[in-house]
Structure 1
Amino acid sequence: MSTISDLKASYQAGRLDKAGYIHAMYERHSVLLDHAQHLAPTNLAEIRIKAGEVTATFKDPPITMVCPPADTRIAPIEAFNFGDYEHAEIQLVRRLVGLLGGAKVRFLDIGANAGFYSLALSQWFPGLRGTAFEPIPSTFGHLCRNLALNAVTGIAPRNLGLSDQAGELVFYTYPSQSGSSSMTRNVDAADVQEVRCPVTTLDAYSAQHQQGADFIKCDVEGAELFVFKGGSQIIRRDRPAIFTEMLRKWCAKYQYHPNDIISHLGGLGYGCHVVSDGRLAPCPIITEETKETNFIFLHRDQHAAIAAALS
């Protein structure tokens, strides 16, 4: 199918007459009407086309996000394709942050990508303050744009990765699915790009910036264990609630198993819970039968009442 640019060029060059041009262009425009028809049953309120930019606004949370060219898995596109984006997880996180203290919570968004969780929590809890870490420069640009679009001033974006060491490391990123970016090549995509990004440890960052934490969201495509090892001091000191992704296939790329995270955080006083049907259920071990991929770690002493309320 010819692009709009191709059609305009053909018309201007005289290869396509006016009637043919109008008909061909309407076929391209009709997709707008098709999108409008299918928007209602999703969690998207609107899709807006501006010069050089497409944005989408969610119904709940009421946030607006850029839809970058080529990214097939960005949150608004996922919401349009499947009706919503991580609905059960974000709603449970909403309840959790409310129980932790709402706007008073010190929030760390590790592997922020375009900022969906930072944006959502900032809308639900005005005044929330925190830090969003995103190492990939292009994705970091989208994060900053989204924070500006939503007038979020309490979340400080940092173009920085977190691990168990400091330095500059190679990341693999994919314009077609920016959320799969990692320090290993997790997906077989032709558009893979290698970028070098600065990395530090959460403990070092905390010490330098007097950063505390009450709630940590960590989604770094398999490198979660290294983030937690590099943040053991702040986790032991502040006892934050932790929401993290753990996928066996991604962890295997880093030569460890999700149970190693359960063991490491268990040594710091935490119990693992699976997010299932909008509630928490204890998950002392991950097996080959475990289907869930998102988990919440709560400190056995600090969060006993919260664990009971969400179970």
Structure 2
Amino acid sequence: MRLREVQNAYKKAEITRFEANKLIMPVLDVLYDLSDLIKESCISKIELDGTNIVFTIEYEKEQIKLCAEQGACISVVSNILATNTVEAELEDNLYELIPENAVVFDIGANIGWYSVCIAKHHPDVQVFSFEPIFYTFLYLKKNLQLNSLSTERIYNIGLSDENKQAIFYFNNKCTETSSMRDLKYINDESQQIECKIRRLDDFCTEQKIDHVDFIKCDVEGAEFFVFRGGLGTIKKSRPVIFTEMLRKWSSAFDYHPNDIILLLASLDYVCIALNRNGKKRILMEVNEDTEEMNYLFIPQEKLAETVSKLKGFTNG
């Protein structure tokens, strides 16, 4: 029984005060347990305002505030509580790969974790954030504002290889799994929402963006189409690309992660797999034994410089 249900049951005299207290006590135990757990985590504060939860996270020498309804920031917070890291594959490396005065695209920005972190760590960088789901987009905007960051370059659109309205499957209990396919990651409660998608190349032309230095792409299986719609920009700008590739997600779109590797290899990019144990290695293809989920794609001419910045890199 949820807390509100306990209160309502007591008000209706369906349960006694003793029974209500007995139902509430396990929740209080969890709160005390959580209080003890965060002492050794990078979460320094948790605030409840009646509607949202605001987490204050000490990350990469920056203080990050993250606001969301229940479920919306499940990955960031659960990773911290489980492992005391946010993105173990890129700890201490992500920001070193972004040059000064860079133009960064955060594609699939969700509620803004990467957009906020990059903008706070690199005040000179221009971060363009893309989130097609309006509900999630509002939290992206709110989190930028919470961290005193500009909302000038946030866009309520998705990027793909077409310019059109597209159906997305959205579940507000797990906003990060929104996708153009029904992935049923949490349960069957997804709702269909029509969203605007644009080709990356066309967006850059329309916005007069002449170069992009770094692309982060996490769009729950549709990564191949993002890159296919941005081949002109990628070929011209030669950005470093940080992306997720999961076989189970890409199969819902009828392609394999190796199709991304081949597509970017045609532009002379090298794939580096990022393991959760901190190891990083050049990867020629994804197979059934591949455990990594996150990858870097590096232009061949930037490979030596990039590898020198990667902790845990092995060529084996």
Query: Conserved in 2, the CA contact under 8 Å of 1:90 and 1:117?
Result: no
Residues 99-153 of structure 1, C-alpha deviation per residue, up to 9 Å, x if partnerless?
Answer: x33xx11100001111111111122222321211011111111111111111111
Distance 1:69 1:229 in 2: 34
2:195 to 194, 197, 207: 197
Distance 1:299 1:44 in 2: 36
Distance 1:71 1:309 in 2: 32
Query: Conserved in 2, the CA contact under 8 Å of 1:129 and 1:155?
Result: no
Aligned residue in 1 for 2:115:
118
2:205 to 204, 207, 211: 207
Aligned residue in 2 for 1:216:
215
Moved more, 8-17 or 203-212: 8-17
Distance 1:287 1:18, change over 3 A: closer
Query: Conserved in 1, the CA contact under 8 Å of 2:128 and 2:154?
Result: yes
Aligned residue in 2 for 1:285:
285
Instruction: Report matched runs for 1:131-170 at 5 Å.
Output: 131-153=128-150, 156-170=153-167
Distance 1:177 1:14, change over 3 A: closer
Query: Conserved in 1, the CA contact under 8 Å of 2:108 and 2:217?
Result: yes
Amino acid at match of 1:283: L
Structure 2: 5+ residue stretches without partners: none
Distance 1:279 1:159 in 2: 35
Aligned residue in 1 for 2:258:
259
Query: Conserved in 1, the CA contact under 8 Å of 2:102 and 2:124?
Result: no
Distance 1:154 1:177, change over 3 A: closer
Distance 1:151 1:213 in 2: 24
Distance 1:192 1:306, change over 3 A: same
Distance 1:252 1:305, change over 3 A: same
Amino acid at match of 2:273: V
Cα distance, 1:8 vs structure 2? 3.4
Aligned residue in 2 for 1:93:
94
Aligned residue in 2 for 1:109:
106
Moved more, 166-175 or 197-206: 166-175
Moved more, 145-154 or 159-168: 145-154
Aligned residue in 2 for 1:173:
170
Query: Conserved in 1, the CA contact under 8 Å of 2:245 and 2:257?
Result: yes
Cα distance, 1:79 vs structure 2? 2.0
Structure 1: 5+ residue stretches without partners: none
> For this pair of structures, how many residues does the alignment match?
306
Distance 1:280 1:29, change over 3 A: closer
Identity of counterpart residues, as a percentage? Answer: 30
Aligned residue in 1 for 2:67:
66
Distance 2:165 2:259 in 1: 25
Distance 1:79 1:60 in 2: 10
Cα distance, 1:71 vs structure 2? 4.0
SS at match of 1:91: coil
Aligned residue in 1 for 2:235:
236
Cα distance, 1:232 vs structure 2? 0.6
Aligned residue in 2 for 1:9:
8
Amino acid at match of 1:51: G
1:130 to 127, 130, 134: 127
Distance 2:203 2:125 in 1: 20
Distance 2:224 2:300 in 1: 20
TM-score (norm 1): 0.90
Distance 1:289 1:4, change over 3 A: closer
